């Protein structure tokens, strides 16, 4: 039941850091346990959950980088060429417009 509670907290946005790591470990252990007990559908579901979480984390990192680059444009201490600014904005637009990995 603890895995379910942690997963619900994660879905509500309440799980970060160590709790997320704990959730991933529990999902992995549950998948291994399900495989050893010949419960393949359960094991597959748990493995897919792990993949979905990893994909979500990768997408968050990608979006954060794009947004950080755009915010960095406001740093007046750095001189930038117009071409560089256009490139940063185009990359951010492309990243934001791209479908999430789970949608592909």
Q: Could you read off the pLDDT of 13-45 as tens digits, one per residue?
A: 554 566 777 877 888 888 888 777 777 787 788
Give CA–CA dist 93/32, Å, rounded. 40
On whether the CB atoms of residues 11 and 34 are closer than 8 A, the answer is: no
pLDDT score recorded for residue 61: 92
Residue 51, token pair as written in the block: 């993949």
pTM summary value = 0.57
CB atoms within 10 A of CB 90: 10
**What is the 8-class DSSP label of residue 100?**
P
Q: State residue 101's pLDDT score.
A: 59
From the list 57, 59, 33, the residue with the least C-alpha distance to 47 is 33
């Amino acid at each position: 039941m603890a895995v379910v509670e942690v997963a619900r907290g994660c879905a509500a946005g309440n799980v970060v850091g160590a709790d997320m790591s704990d959730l991933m470990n529990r999902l992995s252990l549950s998948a291994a346990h399900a495989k050893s007990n010949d419960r393949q559908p359960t094991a597959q579901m748990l493995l897919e959950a792990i993949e979905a979480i990893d994909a979500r984390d990768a997408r968050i990192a990608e979006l954060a980088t794009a947004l950080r680059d755009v915010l960095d444009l406001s740093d007046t201490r750095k001189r930038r060429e117009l071409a560089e600014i256009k490139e940063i904005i185009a990359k951010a637009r492309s990243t934001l417009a791209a479908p999430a990995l789970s949608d592909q």
